[in-house]
Amino acid sequence: MESIDSVVRLEKEGPIALITLNRPDRLNAFNVAMRDQLYEIIMAIRDDPTIDAAVLCGAGKGFCAGADLTEFGTHPPVLRKRQVRLQRDLWEEIRRMTKPIAAALHGFSVGSGLEMAMLCDFRFAAPGTKLALPEAQLGMIPAAGGTQSLPRLLHQGLALDFAMGGHRITAEEGYLKKMISRIVPKDELIQFTVDYMRKVVEHKANSSRVIKSLVTNGLDMSLAEGLAREKVLIARTWNKHK
């Protein structure tokens, strides 16, 4: 295994990249260094032909407590932060990652931590994991894509209630609402998620990428447009096997 010893660790288990948010003393609160390092890692995974899928998890007591407001609220200045975000749109890069990616959640997944997980293709969680988007209660708006990813997982009314109310729910409730893919015992969570992603890509990694592209992009198309795109990509796949 290879690793980067920093606020985000990257390890490799065969064709699976294991990304670990590594600020356990701050409950993995998302700061500028974590944003920048995670962006670099996502770019590296995207361009590495030996990696077929990724797993995102958190060190310590939980997955991610959301943004570190003590840092984002003071440094860098607002205009500089906007400029950096335009140059390095981490959330968009996770969203459009062509390789399958899963989040392994434990303890808590709050604010941008939950939004980040919702940008992944699968969300596995340990029993009792706390989920919340508390921004509205703080007079803020979810800023990591939550207003768009949430209604793609939940019924619109449930999405509005969850985001506007800032409710905290458990992973078990999230599973019933379709936010969570599966509940997994805490001591098995990471290995289960890695093994699951290995099975997803073990037969033909390219097929998994094509299916992901069709499903995710098809959500923003009419049924006719989605079916037409499916025919085109299927034809390309078949041609490669001739």
132 in helix, strand or coil? strand
Rounded to whole angstroms, the Cα distance separating 121 from 108 reads: 19
> What confidence tens digit (pLDDT) does each residue in 70-84 have?
765 555 554 455 445
> What confidence tens digit (pLDDT) does each residue in 23-67 have?
999 999 988 889 999 999 999 999 999 999 999 999 999 999 988
Phi, psi angles (nearest 5°) of residue 141: -120, 135
Say what the pTM is. Answer: 0.81
Q: What is the pLDDT of residue 109?
A: 93
Q: What is the pLDDT of residue 86?
A: 47
Q: Are 122 and 196 in contact (CB under 8 A)?
A: yes
> What confidence tens digit (pLDDT) does each residue in 179-234 have?
999 999 999 999 999 999 999 998 776 777 767 666 676 567 667 776 776 677 76
117 in helix, strand or coil? helix
Active site residues: 115, 135
Rounded to whole angstroms, the Cα distance separating 55 from 227 reads: 30
In our burial notation (b when 16+ CB lie closer than 10 A, e otherwise), range 204-214 reads ebeebbbebeb
Q: What is the pLDDT of residue 91?
A: 86
